[in-house]
Structure 1
């Protein structure tokens, strides 16, 4: 993507803020945002009429941390695999809480989208015959996870950014979007634009946009141990949509990846960082401190490659029952593989641990569960549009694809598939609007300006606030709260206590000590405002869901309840409170139902 020239492109400056006029604003510069922007240009939308903004330096999105692979039924090794079996595996892993139409939209598109990346020059790992290689991943019936060593996300984003730059798609980095501006008309709410702050200069920005796409990531950094960097996946996308009037669903489903690094062994800065599932996909084995390969007791058929929630709970139990390491983890061992195999297939992991003084070819590494992915998010229709007209959500910001537990390798797949699909829908929308040639609405511009300026007044009050509490400290308190009260295992008493503690945090968050708009404390104060809302949806959803399903495990309701095969949705009510309801789940197509009935399943022992 090309850096925007602030002197051109319809921008103007007032005394207190900059205004940018756009057709499409894409919030989030990872794979989902980039793929959407590419599709828009390829379908005739003028690149000059759009802008991609990111909260971090360009090319430094969380996508780069997705290492293990991206799913698509190419059949490189297993020609009997196809998109319907991929869909069936996704629904089973999601405990049938997924939206089947969204699942099928992803799995149908992925073989072609993987080939498209190949045509664009992505550095896939290859078979001896030169085909895109594919590896086993947990709970998948066949080898369908394409990869580039163990740096798939980085290679994929590099490829997408290069394609966006070739199309001259403008971008702007280090911009924190703080509010979506909407208006209510005869047909309901619609988006008018957004407000943000340039974290480098402290300048406020108002974006006047016909369409806004939220591709701003998820919310697992709200947990004390997590696989993201501390300043990403802090709930911005879901919170922006919720505060604008869109519904949020299923945020109680938080995936705890089985294998995060153990900070007590490797240092606090590494605590929770992901040890990619590819290590287990290439044959890595889990052992407790007694030297027992304990997954034989929990999952004798699928072993280490059972569903992530199953493996994470098994590890947590081993640690809780005293069979963990002295540092609070278990051992992950791939030293039975040849050194060159490990260096070729897992180069980033090999280098990371070598730098920490651990030779993966000779000894195991220590791992424990870490918050990794939020299956919930913004409720959208089949095109990715939210309840708010003109506001779309894709990638980890949206919900619906993954159900109660995400299939490994499907996160990158979702960014590509819904990036393409939503880009198609927006291009058609804009073309239709151009055909109608509706004149600019002066009322829209006035409402945007008035509501943006009220929000900017609030931001001005927040900056240089001389209150009592430090935002970063409160954010750490929130992370500890969720880890304790809405972690791997939950019950009514703990969840209720968590809501009580959250109310205290909200009170303290109204009395913050904050620096200016370029300060770290200002950014944490903004993060905290979003995080408090998303944390409340997690706790309230988990309390409402009186069953155990997928990644949501209630010790006081250990069984799955067929009557709760429904999405729990949260909407902001007219006085700012949270209103919870449920939605019925659809049914899969006949073709996918046939694949489910066939009962395909991974046989781990093919790896032995």
Structure 2
């Protein structure tokens, strides 16, 4: 089935919705295409709804800018950081003023890496309470969507003119004057991740295949505040500001010598947890009444009489790197824009807490604006589908084809977790790159896969390969990239690794703005 729109948005989470809303309000016709339900997919939906805003006495955009740069180890795109710091407060205020979402400001505790309290909780503490409201707003102003559709390729030669996807038993083609990718990161390519299954990284590989540049792919953020025994519970940082501790098997508080203890930035804390694991949570000094408020799920567990070990373990949480963009989401590929977690540059080597959802609001508005203003009228893009692919049984997204994709994906997940995780070595990264190269060749020759199914899988592998290759290239430890062979930052690596086509290059930081 064929559709036309001024602006096509690929994705279903907060970044995609904010792009779509802004483009529509600029007068463009807008079509969203998402794997699941609009407002019901992506990492933002399962988040805790935390944004960053400037509201504390003495705080300022300049202070926030410095914090982000310090957290990112000074390799951030300074223009993107400046935009976020200056526009975050206005965009966060729109949650209530524009979308009718209740907000609550945490005024006591500063999130790790932040010099002032900046946390703004939106909705009921769940991301879906935000995206559902944004979906309602988008629907009211005329944004349209095609749901339960897996986008498999971009359309266009020279200029991107839309995309093609698969829904149930039919092909969907959307011709568009501008196309926005807001499809999330690559968390689903790690064995241990708090990302939903629909975040699988193939759109980053797809954009790269069409000429976009990747950058900072080696930086993957792991989330430290995760209880895994006796059950999976995400813990708020405030719990550790109120007396909770992390202990090793000897009962020692291994973060004791750090100035902010368990409130250090995520990159530091995760690596210390790796070195001192297994890690156990100690809440003996937390007021039970406060526990009810700070961590209701943990409080309920304790009220039920659980007295066993509370084991913690980091999980893959966020893709810091991605497609290179400017402050309006432009990629350098005509007609193609990118927004949200699938971009790179803003966060440098490590993202501060509260940055992801804020980014989706700030740059969603900007990207939607640019895509609408710069859309080129298109009647209908040339179809990518050959005659064989018109037969649903030949496209590889049914039956055995899906099972084969699942098998390869599990192999990728284990490889990435074991070789490209929190702790990295040259030998492990070399093995990862080699195995992904072999896997890529095997996919091309696998007779169980047809056409577009093998292409989607190849795009997943491209993303995993770019991450592994960039990590192997960066011979130092910086932020979320920790190398056993190179245990410290090295000044000659103050810059960004970029990959375009088959070529990679290192771009040194050129100084401040």
Any conservation in 2 of the 1:53–1:173 contact (CA below 8 Å)? Answer: yes
Q: Find the aligned partners of 1:468 and 1:82 in 2 and give their Cα distance.
A: 50
**2:133 pairs with 1:159:** yes
Task: After TM superposition, give the deviation of residue 123 of structure 1 in Å.
Answer: 2.3
1:219–1:235 contact (8 Å) kept in structure 2: yes
Q: What's the counterpart of residue 100 of structure 2?
A: 121
**1:347–1:118 distance in 2 versus 1, CA, 3 Å:** farther
2:151 is aligned with 1:216: no
Corresponding position of 1:246: 212
After TM superposition, the structure 1 = structure 2 runs for residues 122-521 of structure 1, keeping only pairs within 5 Å, are: 122-125=101-104, 135-148=109-122, 151-184=125-158, 190-198=159-167, 201-229=168-196, 231-262=197-228, 265-266=229-230, 270=232, 274-280=234-240, 283-297=243-257, 299=258, 301-319=259-277, 324=278, 330-334=279-283, 336-347=285-296, 350=299, 353=301, 365-430=310-375, 445=380, 448-453=381-386, 456=389, 460-463=394-397, 470-510=404-444, 512=446
Larger radius of gyration: 1
Distance 2:367 2:38 in 1: 22
Q: CA deviation at 1:70?
A: 0.9
The 3 A distance-change label for structure 1 pair 455 and 81 is farther
Task: Tell whether the 8 Å contact from 1:150 to 1:345 is kept in structure 2 after alignment.
Answer: no
Partner SS for 1:568:
strand
Query: 2:221–2:267: 8 Å Cα contact kept in structure 1?
Result: yes
- Structure 1 SS opposite 2:3: strand
Q: Please give the residue correspondences for 1:84-99 in structure 2 after superposition, counting only pairs within 5 Å.
A: 84-99=62-77
1:30 aligns with 2:13: yes
Structure 1 unmatched ranges of 5 or more: 1-17, 127-131, 185-189, 325-329, 573-577, 590-608
Match of 2:477 in 1: 548
Indicate the residue corresponding to 1:583 in structure 2: 507
The change in CA–CA distance for 1:22 and 1:423 in structure 2 (over 3 A counts) is: same
Task: Give the match for residue 4 of structure 2.
Answer: 21
User: What is the CA distance between 1:59 and its match in structure 2?
Assistant: 2.5
Instruction: Specify which of 91, 96, 112 is matched with residue 90 of structure 2.
Output: 112
Q: CA deviation at 1:177?
A: 0.5
**Residue 65 of structure 1: aligned partner:** 46
Alignment partners' CA distance in 2, 1:169 and 1:284: 45
- Contact between 1:468 and 1:511, CA under 8 Å: does it hold in 2? no
Would the aligned equivalents of 1:180 and 1:195 in 2 still touch at CA under 8 Å?
yes
Q: How many Å separate the matches in 1 of 2:251 and 2:400?
A: 55
Deviations 1:479-529 (A, max 9, x none): 111112111122222111112222332233235576999xxxx98x66533
Counterpart-to-counterpart distance in 1, 2:435 and 2:240 = 38
Change in CA separation of 1:25 and 1:354 when aligned onto 2, cut-off 3 Å: farther
Alignment partner of 2:103: what SS?
coil
Give how far 1:134 is off: 6.6
Q: 1:159 to 1:133 in 2, by over 3 A?
A: farther
- In the aligned structure 2, how far is the partner of 1:245 from the partner of 1:160? 32
1:56 aligns with 2:25: no
Other-structure match for 1:12: none
Deviations 1:240-299 (A, max 9, x none): 21121111111110111113342xx346xx5xx7444454355532222322222113x1
Secondary structure of 1:462's counterpart equals: coil
Report the Cα distance in structure 2 between the residues aligned to 1:288 and 1:63, rounded to whole angstroms: 32
The normalised TM-score by structure 1 is: 0.77
The Cα of 1:60 is off from its aligned counterpart by 1.7
Q: Taking structure 1 as reference, are residues 587 and 151 closer, same or farther at Cα in structure 2, changes over 3 Å only?
A: farther
CA distance in 2, matches of 1:458, 1:251: 37
Residue by residue over 1:135-193, the C-alpha shift from the partner in whole angstroms, topping out at 9 and shown as x without a partner, is 42111111111114882523332332232233232122111100012212xxxxx1111
Q: Does 1:539 align with 2:468?
A: yes
Alpha-carbon RMSD = 2.9
Residues 492, 88 of structure 1: alpha-carbon distance in 2 compared, 3 angstrom cutoff: same
> 1-side partners of 2:402 and 2:25: how far apart?
51
User: 1:561: which partner in 2?
Assistant: 490
Judged with a 3 Å threshold, the aligned counterparts in structure 2 of structure 1 residues 513 and 283 are, in CA distance, closer, same or farther, namely farther
How many pairs align? 510
Q: What is the DSSP-based 3-state SS (H/G/I as helix, E as strand, rest coil) of the residue aligned with 1:489?
A: coil
1:195–1:467 Cα change, 3 Å: closer
Structure 2 equivalent of residue 327 of structure 1: none
Residue aligned with 1:23, SS: strand
Change (3 A) 1:346 1:454: farther
Higher mean C-alpha deviation, range 486-495 or range 546-555: 486-495
Change (3 A) 1:396 1:134: farther
CA displacement, residues 329-374 of structure 1 (integer Å, 9 cap, x when unaligned): x2234453344433334345656x579x676xx8873211111111
- Rounded to whole Å, the distance in 2 between the matches of 1:98 and 1:291 is 38
Question: Aligned partners of 1:466 and 1:363: how far apart in 2?
Answer: 43
The corresponding residue for 2:59 is 81
